[in-house]
Amino acid sequence: MGVLVTGSKGYIGSVLVDYLTERSPKVSGLDSGLFETSRLEPCPKDSLTIQKDIRHVVPEDLAGVSTVIHLAALSNDPLGALRPELTSEINHFGAIQLAQAAKEAGVKRFIFLSTQSIYGISDPDGPELDEERSEKTPLTAYAKTKFLAEQDIQRLHSDDFFVVVLRPATVFGYSPRLRTDIVFNNLVAQAHFKGEINLTSDGRPWRPVIHVKDLCMAISQAAELPKSQIASRVYNVGVEGGNYTVLQLAQRATELVPGSRLTFSSEATPDERSYRVSFARIYHELAFRPVWTLPMGGRELIDKWDELGCTAEQILGPRTIRLAHLEERQRLGSLDEKLYPRT
């Protein structure tokens, strides 16, 4: 019985499929191809992927699969705001439909990748947010649809089908299908290619962060550990001591690029989204021990950009900024208004 990764041609998925295939030969992917061309270098494991939209998955597509790892989604706040009703269709109803098809197909384990942005806004001086007791106040279409999907998928739990929910911190680090519309990757890119980080907020919001390979480690643990240990559990995934303000992240990025500087946009505005998160549960229950630090991940990005001869347009343009990529594809006519490919 195998493992299926949805969103296998995405930022996380491209790294996760490589990570899992080093441990098991029975790994496959499913992806709609929205970001297939958003790559900086070849992705040999793409051959393991079936091209199909999660909105069209039927039980027959999941024959022989024992574990589904569900990554596929419109995956950040600006992208979710493109068309909120489409975000709901994919992130909420598409996820439920996939989980129902998985259950009908005899899949035993369903790992759902949610988000810590469901916490929305919290008291900066209050306790770190935990999985159960802390209030959930999602502020954006992306966060709201992820939280609704969490709740509805968990209701499908049975003796033969169990769900594990992972809420990752904001991810950073290199992937062949890199994203620079996420905070630390973007800050490092600004410092490296422009010599200046221009903050568009006041820098005070808190953002937990985790390296993409450490997140892959957590996902792999959730796929391998016994049902008795993790069934119906929800885990914040991140690094102890890994809560930073946006200003602190920007300062770390400038430290990686000598001569770069930090400025504030004249139009900088407060950002309500702010959350400091506890990772005590995953450290205690899964013995999760991430290894990547901010300097290691930032240095990795810069070294890969230099190795590949990347330009500012490649790293800060439509190839790596998801909303810009989809808008470009729609402008060129290769995607329709519901994000289905046009032939």
Are the CB atoms for 178 and 11 separated by under 8 Å?
yes
Question: Crossing angle of helices 294-308/183-194, nearest 10°?
Answer: 50
Amino acid (1-letter code) at residue 245: T
Q: What is the mean pLDDT of residues 22-42?
A: 93
Residue 118's SS3 state is: helix
- d(CA 126, CA 135) in angstroms, rounded, equals 12
Q: CB atoms < 10 A from the CB of 37, how many?
A: 13
At 256, list the tokens.
Answer: 């990686």
On the CB side of 188, CA atoms within 13 Å amount to 25
User: Where does 76-182 have alpha helices with state H?
Assistant: 77-80, 84-87, 95-105, 141-154
The three-point CA angle 132-226-22 to 5° equals 105
Q: What is the mean pLDDT of residues 259-286?
A: 88
At 59-109, the pLDDT tens digits run 999 999 999 999 999 987 777 667 789 999 999 999 999 999 999 999 999
Q: What is the DSSP code string of 14-60?
A: HHHHHHHHTT-S-EEEEE--TTTT--SS--GGGGGEEE--GGG--GG
Is 229 a residue whose pLDDT tops 70?
yes
Q: What element of type H or E holds 65?
A: strand 65-70
Q: CB atoms < 10 A from the CB of 81, how many?
A: 14
Domains along the chain with CATH numbers = 2-332 (3.40.50.720)
pTM for the full predicted model: 0.96
Confidence tier at 280 by pLDDT (50, 70, 90): very high
Is 268 a residue whose pLDDT tops 70?
no
Q: What is the mean pLDDT of residues 264-282?
A: 84
CA–CA distances in Å: residue 118 to residues 74, 90, 121, 220: 15, 17, 9, 23
Dihedral of CA atoms 95, 132, 233, 283 in degrees, nearest 10, equals: 120
Are the CB atoms for 87 and 340 separated by under 8 Å?
no
- d(CA 95, CA 158) in angstroms, rounded, equals 17
At 29, list the tokens.
Answer: 């992917």
pLDDT confidence of residue 232: 94
